[in-house]
Amino acid sequence: MIRTVGKDIIYSMRMTAKVRDALRRAASLEHRTIASLLDKIIADHLEKQGYLAGKTHGQERRKHPRVKTVLPSVTHSKAGAISLPSFSCVVLDLSLGGALIAYPLGSEIKDTSIGEMPNFSLRFELPGIKEEVCFRCESRRVFDIDNGLKIGAAFIDPDQPRILLPCSKLAFDSPLR
| Most confident residue range from 72-76, 103-107, 145-149, 167-171 | 72-76
Q: Is residue 54 part of a domain?
A: no
Q: Is residue 110 part of a domain?
A: yes
Q: Is residue 2 part of a domain?
A: no
Domain count, the chain: 2
Residues 57-106 pLDDT 10s: 555 555 667 788 889 999 988 777 777 788 899 999 888 888 899 988 77
Q: Are residues 138 and 74 in the same domain?
A: yes
Q: Are residues 99 and 149 in the same domain?
A: yes
Q: Is residue 155 part of a domain?
A: yes
Q: Which residues are 135's β-sheet partners?
A: 122
Q: Which domain holds residue 43?
A: 17-49
